[in-house]
Amino acid sequence: MIACRTIAVANQKGGVAKTTTVASLGAALAELGRRVLVVDLDPQACLTFSLGLDPDAVELSVHDVLLGRVSASMAVQATADGVDLLPSTIELAGCEAMLLTRTGREYTLRLALEDVADSYDVVLLDCAPSLGVLTLNALTAADQVLVPLQCETLSHRGVGQLLDTVHDVQRLTNRGLQVLGVLPTLFDSRTTHAREVLADVSSRYGLDVIEPPIAKSVRFAEAPARGRSILQTAGRTPGAAAYRALARRIAGMAEPVPARAAALGDEVIDLTNANEAVST
């Protein structure tokens, strides 16, 4: 049996495709036969909505799990993308304040996930765009952290703050936490600025840059409206191919195509040739 691997997808800046990455990567791993649980740790519940659930109609959520009202297994729901989801609701916004008064609050999620660890090969944690208690819980529960990075200056500035938090977590609550790397999202290789930001992040922080980058595409914005990931709504696009390549890397499978290309049937397409509108 494969030991369960927990990956936190984190960046305190919003709009960098954290939720898109969790939904798409989870679906891609499920295609490879992995048993996947995705956890929505954002009170906005975008992941929950993106995978076809109405957050307003969810009866049991991660909020109830973190407060100890129910076990994680009781709140998990199946989705059409082949992954299981621990959903979120707006109630999660008040959970952070409640956890602040609790001893060992950083370990709450880690302990809750022990209830379902034997049922999954991979757990993906969709973190809120902040460095609060919920994100600290995710980093404490995770084996690795993946950092989606929109290649622009404002997004780049937040990486250092996130890494400071990661170092604190490594020192205080999770010595085994590793940084999986930076995943370029909303990437447009035609701009010098995007390439310069990516190069600076790699050299400044010594982080691995995961390829292929996720190119800008309106297809990512269209998928949530149908309650599915891009692998189901536009599975033969560069974006879907890029997440499949990332899934193969995480699953430890050999990459079948060059780093900046993806197979599309018998055709190989260049991921940097994306001319569609930017959207998250």
> Residue 134: which CATH number?
3.40.50.300
Which residues contact residue 99 at a Cβ distance below 8 angstroms, ignoring those fewer than 6 apart?
A: 66, 105, 108, 133, 134, 137
Note the pLDDT of residue 154: 64
Which residues contact residue 70 at a Cβ distance below 8 angstroms, ignoring those fewer than 6 apart?
A: 60, 64
Which residues contact residue 5 at a Cβ distance below 8 angstroms, ignoring those fewer than 6 apart?
A: 121, 122, 123, 143, 144, 250
Inside any domain, residue 23: yes
Q: Does the structure show a pLDDT above 60 at 262?
A: no
Confidence of residue 92 (pLDDT cuts 50, 70, 90): very high
The CB density around residue 74, as the number of other CB atoms within 10 Å, is 12
pLDDT, mean of residues 14-42: 95
Using alpha carbons only, give the angle 127, 130, 133 rounded to the nearest 5 degrees.
80
* Peptide bond preceding 212 in cis form (omega within 30 of 0): yes
50-72 pLDDT, tens digit each:
999 999 999 999 999 999 999 99
Which residues contact residue 107 at a Cβ distance below 8 angstroms, ignoring those fewer than 6 apart?
A: 137, 140, 141, 173
The gap between the terminal CA atoms of the chain, to the nearest Å, is 36
Parallel/antiparallel/unpaired status of strands 77-78 and 84-86: antiparallel
Inside any domain, residue 223: yes
Helix residue spans in the chain (DSSP H): 18-31, 46-50, 62-66, 72-75, 95-100, 108-113, 133-141, 153-172, 192-205, 219-222, 230-233, 238-250
Please, is 105 exposed, middle or buried when counting C-beta atoms within 10 Å of its C-beta (0-12, 13-18, 19+)? middle
Region of 45 please: left (phi>0), alpha (psi -120 to 50) or beta.
Answer: left
131-182 pLDDT, tens digit each:
899 999 999 999 999 999 887 766 667 788 889 999 999 999 999 999 999 9
Considering Cα of 33, then 253, then 212, then 121, what sign does the dihedral take? positive
Note the pLDDT of residue 236: 84
196-245 pLDDT, tens digit each:
877 888 888 888 889 888 887 777 877 777 888 888 887 888 888 999 99
Q: What one-letter code names the amino acid at 59?
A: E
Inside any domain, residue 43: yes
Note the pLDDT of residue 48: 97
Distances (CA, A) of 226 to 49, 77, 110, 243, 244: 9, 17, 31, 19, 20
Residue 274 main-chain phi, psi, to 5 deg: -110, 120
Inside any domain, residue 123: yes
pLDDT, mean of residues 264-277: 35
Inside any domain, residue 276: no
Inside any domain, residue 279: no
Inside any domain, residue 275: no
Total domains in the chain come to 1
CB 211 within 8 A of CB 175: no
pLDDT, mean of residues 112-138: 95
Confidence of residue 30 (pLDDT cuts 50, 70, 90): very high
Q: Does the structure show a pLDDT above 80 at 190?
A: no
Tell the residue number behind the tokens 């404002």, with chain if given: 154
Q: Which residue has the higher pLDDT, 195 or 144?
A: 144
Model pTM greater than 0.85?
yes
Domain extent for 71: 5-270
Note the pLDDT of residue 255: 54
Parallel/antiparallel/unpaired status of strands 84-86 and 178-185: unpaired
Inside any domain, residue 257: yes
